[in-house]
Amino acid sequence: MMQHSSAKRLTIKGIVQGVGFRPYVYRLAMGMGLKGWVLNSSSGVFIEVEGQAEQVNKFISQLLDQPPPLAVIKSCQVEDIAARHFDNFIIRESQGEQVREVDVSPDIAICADCRREVRDPQDRRYGYPFTNCTNCGPRFTIIQDVPYDRIKTTMNVFPMCRQCRQEYLDPLNRRFHAQPNACPDCGPKAWLTDSHGRICEIGVGDVLKRGAVLAVKGLGAFHLAVDASNREAVQLLRRRKRRDAKPFAVMARDLAAAYKYCLVSEQEEAWLTSRQAPIVVMKSLNNPAIPGDLLHPGLNTLGLMLPYTPLHYMLFDEELDLLVMTSANISDEPLITDNDQATSSLKDLADYFLLHDRDIFNPCDDSVLSISSGNSTDIIRRARGFVPQGIRAPRLKTSASILAVGGEMKNTFCLTRGEEAYLSQHWGDLSNYHNYLNFTEGIARFKQMLAVEPGLIAHDMHPDYQSTRWAKRQKQVRLVPVQHHHAHMAAAMAENGLQGRTLGLVLDGAGWGADGSVWGGELLLGDYRSFNRAAHLTTMPFAGGDLNAQNPYRMAFIYMYQLLGDRAFEYLRWMPELTRQEGEVIIKNIQLGEPLSTSSCGRFFDAVSSILGVCHINRYEGQAAMELEAMAASHACGVYPVSVYRDTDGLIMDVSPIWLGIVHDLENGHHSAHIAMRFHRSLAALLTEAIRQVHIDSGIDQVVLSGGVFHNKILTQMLAEALTELKLQVYTHRQVPAGDGGIALGQAVIASEVI
Ligand code: ZN
Ligand code: ZN
Ligand code: FE
């Protein structure tokens, strides 16, 4: 009987480059005796395959059901074509075209096979810091253009040696078409210098064990490393970096070492060992072998990651299992990626430099996340390992591409193509000019990478955000201003696939309100198109503006004065940083009718943190609130009265009973740790009561929680439990940060609705 034959053409889109897709296709086709070819192009992977009909179908279903582990197939178009009677199956040369719809893969942490090789003295890649294969290695950080081919990466200056080329060309090899493939003979090299640029022949581990500060050029930027168990070294790094409070991230030699310093849950272990290999913020075990008071002052958590490139293995040895690994940038400056720039700008910070000659094209910070009590992932910074993977947002209209330029602090932007939203890495605070330049450069690169030209730009309503100013300078593009907290709410809705009217509880530090005041403790009711401010925290005078955000003690005084009048001066003993004179100036401004006011929840946390003596001055963003959470005693009971009342501009979630309760407890000598817990519980009760009332009035039962305050686990858990008890559906962020790093997604979705 004659066998049915068939010929098909497949067009596949998604993350299909740099993930071993073509070799996989090749092996699959060869194994089934099929003929044809596979081709990488900037608009996707094309396959023509012919042979027995049954085998061809089996080939297609297996490819779609079990693609290679790192591939993400978004679409596969299959057409019947005329058979061309190929002799074999080949991988054809890549094509560059006008249409570019293929996704660039994020960087991928070293795989188990490569790890084995670099540790095997018999292997030719023993100890080689740039070992990679199709399943792991640099991607986004070295890609200059699409389609992804060595020639379009910063590896283009390293011609492969004969052996590497053989691996690259052998379809059965793990390095078949691995674009950054390299070995000690042909690839990039790493070297150690002192701060004068002199080559050092000593081991990297020895430098660290001496207590020196080492600048390390990594995957997406430079880090500063010191031995985390060496108190003097950690202190030296703090002093030189002029970073006296912000917690340092650490890198542990391996999982066993991580278990010595942190309480690691199953989910946390899964993230630590994932291909994204982020910094995971976990409960510290307070192991006395490391100076916890210097690594994470005032906090009970430690942000830890595992080595994610073979270069990192060079840093550890038998006596060294935990290193501080902090970004080498100076305070709010951008990441450092370049050798010359590092040796000049870090010469007073680092004693030694571990450099290499593979250029970093796209700077990318380490990602940071934590696991919340409900076992969901709370992304704090979405960068290396995640960017530039798209986020599916089906609400996006597919016609025009949208650029959403994000906020000011922790800026990220978002560019859309079809139903995908591509969120950038973090650019930091855009009020720093260098960060701003990187932001604009990043936009140009994302446009090229995605081959889109946005027809619409969404921006925050704040007129003084640098992102807003940039948007307003763009010509011939329609602008859509988006209210800050509406963007937060929409981001949470979009990533959870929600539609229709929703309650959005948005708690953060500050955002430009629709009425021109500073919002930050908002319960919004609405959808992607519009919203009402259904409830908000008591509005407080905000005499001094940003000065108050830096100085929680000023906020404590404002609360005291607003709620207790002149009796505020009786409590100056609890505000040691405040002089009577500064207090009087604040009062004068309030009495003169200071125009600024705020409903910020972040500032409420600051005020409470200060009055409890926890933190009077924020030396990094969120310090007072984080330390307040860290010291709250879980066993403490009690709750302050809750008051929600109606005012001309909606429901007011009244902070005064909580504040007065705290003052009363303090006067009666209650322990701050107990009061801190009571504060969390009372705030959760207050917010729940407002949501309950709005839910009853509106009949709406889906609630999203957004804003940086929701990185607070105690509050998030209490709220989620209370709202679930009210039979409401509660949604939190899982893919983008709850803080301002996530708002660009919300801006984009809102803009797509109002076209
Ligand atoms: Zn590998
Ligand atoms: Zn080689
Ligand atoms: Fe915000």
Least confident stretch, 30-44, 99-113, 412-426 = 99-113
Ligand nearest the Cα of residue 184 is: 2
- SS3 state of residue 163: helix
Band (513; pLDDT cuts 50, 70, 90): very high
Ligand nearest the Cα of residue 133 is: 1
pLDDT (tens digit per residue) in 340-373: 999 999 999 999 999 999 999 999 999 999 998 7
Q: How far is the CA of 197 from the centre of ligand 2 (A)?
A: 27
Tell me what pLDDT residue 1 has. Answer: 43
Q: Where are the beta strands (DSSP E) in 468-624?
A: 478-482, 502-512, 518-526, 531-537, 540-541, 597-598
Q: How far is the CA of 167 from the centre of ligand 2 (A)?
A: 9
**Domain formed by 390-496+739-752, architecture:** 2-Layer Sandwich (3.30)
Q: How far is the CA of 157 from the centre of ligand 3 (A)?
A: 43
Is residue 100 scored above 70 in pLDDT? no
**How confident is the prediction for the chain on average, in pLDDT?**
94
Beta bridge partners of 653: 537, 644
The answer to whether 537 touches 602, Cβ cutoff 8 Å, is no
Tell me what pLDDT residue 38 has. Answer: 93
Tell me what pLDDT residue 398 has. Answer: 60
Q: How far is the CA of 382 from the centre of ligand 3 (A)?
A: 16
pLDDT (tens digit per residue) in 548-558: 999 999 999 99
Distance between start and end Cα atoms, the chain: 60
Q: How far is the CA of 185 from the centre of ligand 2 (A)?
A: 5
Q: How far is the CA of 125 from the centre of ligand 2 (A)?
A: 9
Largest CA distance in the chain: 101
Q: How far is the CA of 128 from the centre of ligand 1 (A)?
A: 12
Three-state secondary structure readout of 445-471: HHHHHHCCCCCEEEEECCCCCHHHHHH
Tell me what pLDDT residue 172 has. Answer: 81
Residue 35 backbone dihedrals phi, psi, to 5 degrees: -115, 160
Residue 315 has which token pair?
């840093």
Q: How far is the CA of 656 from the centre of ligand 1 (A)?
A: 58
Contacts with 661 (C-beta within 8 Å, 6 or more apart), sequence order: 640, 641, 678, 682
pLDDT (tens digit per residue) in 280-294: 999 999 999 999 999
pLDDT (tens digit per residue) in 365-411: 999 999 987 889 999 999 999 999 999 887 776 668 999 999 999 99
Residue 689 has which token pair?
């009561």
Q: Which of 235, 228, 244, 238 has its CA nearest to residue 615?
A: 244
Tell me what pLDDT residue 16 has. Answer: 85
Q: How far is the CA of 135 from the centre of ligand 1 (A)?
A: 5
CA distance 339 to 192: 12
CA distance 218 to 223: 7
The answer to whether 40 touches 14, Cβ cutoff 8 Å, is no
Ligand nearest the Cα of residue 181 is: 2
Q: How far is the CA of 673 from the centre of ligand 2 (A)?
A: 59
Ligand nearest the Cα of residue 178 is: 1
CA distance 405 to 466: 10
pLDDT (tens digit per residue) in 305-321: 999 999 999 999 889 99
pLDDT (tens digit per residue) in 269-282: 999 999 999 999 99
Ligand nearest the Cα of residue 513 is: 3
Question: Exposed e or buried b for every residue in 331-366, given b needs 16+ CB within 10 A?
Answer: eebbbbbebeebbebbeebbbbbbbbebbbbbbbbb
CA distance 493 to 503: 10
Band (595; pLDDT cuts 50, 70, 90): confident
Give the CA count within 13 Å in the CB-facing half-sphere of 170: 12
CATH topology of domain 5-91: Alpha-Beta Plaits (3.30.70)
**Which top CATH class is 518-527+535-731?**
alpha beta
Q: How far is the CA of 100 from the centre of ligand 2 (A)?
A: 30
Q: How far is the CA of 516 from the centre of ligand 1 (A)?
A: 53
Q: How far is the CA of 114 from the centre of ligand 1 (A)?
A: 4
Q: How far is the CA of 117 from the centre of ligand 3 (A)?
A: 46
CA distance 689 to 701: 14
Tell me what pLDDT residue 22 has. Answer: 87
CA distance 270 to 267: 5
Ligand nearest the Cα of residue 19 is: 1
Q: How far is the CA of 24 from the centre of ligand 1 (A)?
A: 15
Q: How far is the CA of 113 from the centre of ligand 1 (A)?
A: 6
Q: How far is the CA of 373 from the centre of ligand 3 (A)?
A: 23
Supply the CATH classification number for the domain 190-368.
3.90.870.40
CA distance 602 to 162: 59
- SS3 state of residue 623: helix
- SS3 state of residue 215: strand
Q: How far is the CA of 515 from the centre of ligand 3 (A)?
A: 16
More confident residue, 422 or 755: 422
Indicate if the alpha-carbon torsion angle 566, 570, 571, 576 is positive or negative.
positive
Count of beta carbons in the 10 Å neighbourhood of residue 523: 26
Q: How far is the CA of 40 from the centre of ligand 2 (A)?
A: 24
Residues in the chain: 755
Ligand nearest the Cα of residue 155 is: 2
More confident residue, 429 or 149: 429
Tell me what pLDDT residue 118 has. Answer: 97
The two domains 390-496+739-752 and 518-527+535-731 share their CATH topology (first three levels equal): yes
Q: Where are the domains of the chain?
A: 5-91, 190-368, 390-496+739-752, 518-527+535-731
Q: How far is the CA of 480 from the centre of ligand 1 (A)?
A: 44
Contacts with 434 (C-beta within 8 Å, 6 or more apart), sequence order: 333, 334
Residue 153 has which token pair?
């990466």
Residue 454: asked if its preceding bond is cis (omega within 30°), the reply is no
Band (101; pLDDT cuts 50, 70, 90): low
Ligand nearest the Cα of residue 521 is: 3
Q: How far is the CA of 434 from the centre of ligand 3 (A)?
A: 22
Q: How far is the CA of 280 from the centre of ligand 1 (A)?
A: 22
Q: How far is the CA of 476 from the centre of ligand 3 (A)?
A: 29
Q: Residues with Cβ within 5 Å of ion ligand 1?
A: 111, 114, 133, 135-136
The answer to whether 227 touches 319, Cβ cutoff 8 Å, is no
Q: How far is the CA of 385 from the centre of ligand 1 (A)?
A: 15
Q: How far is the CA of 709 from the centre of ligand 3 (A)?
A: 9
CA distance 41 to 46: 8
Count of beta carbons in the 10 Å neighbourhood of residue 697: 11
Q: How far is the CA of 71 from the centre of ligand 1 (A)?
A: 15
Q: How far is the CA of 132 from the centre of ligand 1 (A)?
A: 5
- SS3 state of residue 96: coil
The answer to whether 146 touches 104, Cβ cutoff 8 Å, is yes
Q: How far is the CA of 378 from the centre of ligand 3 (A)?
A: 16
Mean pLDDT of 29-34: 93
Burial class (CB in 10 A: 0-12, 13-18, 19+), 591: exposed
Residue that is written with structure tokens 């990478």 in the block: 449
Percentage of the residues of the chain whose pLDDT score is greater than 70 = 98
The answer to whether 528 touches 749, Cβ cutoff 8 Å, is yes
Beta bridge partners of 282: 302
Mean pLDDT of 515-526: 96
CA distance 694 to 726: 12
Q: How far is the CA of 479 from the centre of ligand 3 (A)?
A: 20
pLDDT (tens digit per residue) in 84-97: 999 999 988 776 55
Q: How far is the CA of 614 from the centre of ligand 1 (A)?
A: 47
More confident residue, 475 or 303: 303
